[in-house]
Amino acid sequence: MSTIRNIVILTGAGVSAESGIDTFRDGGGLWEQHRVEDVATPEAFARDPELVQRFYDMRREAIQTKQPNAAHHALARLDSEWSGNLLIVTQNVDDLHERAGAKRVLHMHGEHLNAWCTACDVRSRWTGPLIDGPACPACGERALRPDVVWFGEIPYRMEEIFAALQEADLFVSIGTSGAVYPAAGFVRNARDLGVATLELNLEPSQGTLWFDEARHGPASEVVPAWVDEMLS
Ligand code: APR
């Protein structure tokens, strides 16, 4: 491990599963109760803004009742103790990484606890509902939408992510199915750059064959064990 200085970590819904937040594609997962195209697309928002706002109001409220689990805490410990570069790129829109104390976090799919004004483009921290069309704190317009990247929209801060991968010695993918691009392609970008790759997931992901190494089990077990190894 001594040759490893710079780490990029990708997390997905599996890292928050044991905190009680539904994943998307596991049995009974979020998308099994809702058709993606009905709630997580710009077209859905244009067609039925109330349905979409209600869906995200429910999610925004739900995540505030959840707590970080041992995987979040282990990653926060690694973040605070790792002297090299470290970036946690999360697909998750919950704030459990931050609530566990992680600092170097990048939300490529946005955040439930932000509202994005479609009039002035300002993003404001938002913990309440949006269904009743509240005024934007910056411009006063009643034009706030969830600050979540929907299907068909461009994930945030991709240049920063690719720059971090260029510098990385290790890419670790945690709790993601490898079903959704561009995140699902990061392991191949890493391999093309000669970066070592590790998958920590409950079960083999769709991209598991691209990883140099894969360890399977619940994140609350496999992530703390890996962090202990990295910090020993
Ligand atoms: N520990 C570790 N991994 C787990 C656990 C657990 N306790 N429980 C489930 N998993 C794994 C599943 O095996 C699966 O591979 O987490 C992964 C969850 O996959 P998805 O539900 O597809 O979630 P994710 O990969 O984050 O989805 C990516 O798709 O719907 C969009 O924007 C949404 O960010 C999301 C993106």
CATH code of the domain containing 202: 3.40.50.1220
Which residues partner with 32 through β-bridges?
A: none
The CB of 69 under 6 Å from ligand 1? The reply is: no
* Residue 109 appears among annotated catalytic residues: yes
Establish how many alpha carbons lie within 13 A of residue 199's alpha carbon, considering only the half-sphere containing its beta carbon: 25
Task: Give the pTM.
Answer: 0.97
The reply to whether 63 sits in an annotated binding site is no
- Ligand 1, atom 5, lies closest to the CA of 14
Number of domains in the chain: 2
pLDDT for position 2 = 55
Both 98 and 12 in a single domain?
yes
Q: For residue 4, give Cα distances in angstroms to 11, 68, 104, 223, 232.
A: 19, 27, 18, 17, 13
> Which has more pLDDT, 77 or 25?
77
State the first-to-last Cα distance of the chain, in angstroms, to the nearest integer: 9
For residue range 85-117, list pLDDT tens digits in order.
999 999 999 999 999 999 999 999 999 999 999
Of 31-35, 65-69, 96-100, 217-221, the one with minimum mean pLDDT is: 31-35
For strand 7-11 and strand 170-174, is the pairing parallel, antiparallel, or unpaired?
parallel
Rounded-to-integer distance, Cα 175 and Cα 204, Å: 10
Can you give the residue range of the structural domain that contains 185? 1-21+68-109+154-231
Annotated binding residue 128: no
